Amino acid sequence: MSFFVHKSAFSLFSFLLALAGVCSGGSDAPRGVAVGFVFDLKAKCDPPCEHGGVCIRNNTCFCSKGYEGETCQYANCFPKCKNGGACLRPGKCRCLPGYGGRYCHKVTCAGGCWNGGECTAVNGVAKCICPSSWTGSKCQDAICPQGCRNGGNCVSPGICSCPEGWVGGACHTAVCSQTCLNGGKCISPNKCRCRPPFSGPRCEERKKSH
């Protein structure tokens, strides 16, 4: 019985030729066997065939679909993995950081982009491009153009969350629980600045002049 095979370059074509050889050879091999494992049953492949490859002849592997190489060690990905991705198994790429999608053809931003940000490759690096009122690596920080003063936090675009005792768009207005009297001004929480000649917590006292 003869085989038309080349070590390490065993193609489907030669596989079929070999089958034809088996079927017409008049050997003792069983006929009509479904797939070509009528090859050398004692064949040894060392190192062994990987990924479901079949050892059909000494040191010759017949690889399953999607694999290639002498011991079927390499997976084939079609389309090929893009952007430096590695083919893990047929049709499955492992992507480098910053890339995603079935073929690593999409950029991904670690942690995603929030608030309508868009992940885009900028000079090969994945970055979130934020809408105008958001900033930060994930567009997680709102922008308050007016600023948030006195310990206020910008919680959404243009909106400050103010600490107790402060109000206003920029947390710039102090609150005095009791109104400052006689033209006094509330300058920080519960603190009045009085106009002369007034004094006291609420500017309620008139200083006596001697």
Residues within the interface to ligand NAG (CB under 6 A): 40, 44, 58
Beta carbon of residue 53, minimum distance to ligand NAG (angstroms, whole number)? 17
Beta carbon of residue 44, minimum distance to ligand NAG (angstroms, whole number)? 5
The CA–CA distances, whole Å, from 135 to 10, 108, 113, 131, 172 equal: 57, 18, 10, 8, 23
Beta carbon of residue 97, minimum distance to ligand NAG (angstroms, whole number)? 45
Neighbours of 95 (CB within 10 A): 21
Task: State the residue number with the nearest CB to ligand NAG.
Answer: 58
* C-beta closer to ligand NAG: residue 59 or 64: 59
3-state secondary structure 47-72: CCCCCCCEEEECCEEECCCCEECCCC
Q: Assign 14 to helix, strand or coil.
A: helix
* C-beta closer to ligand NAG: residue 44 or 193: 44
Question: Which H/E stretch holds residue 15?
Answer: helix 12-24
Beta carbon of residue 52, minimum distance to ligand NAG (angstroms, whole number)? 22
* C-beta closer to ligand NAG: residue 44 or 89: 44
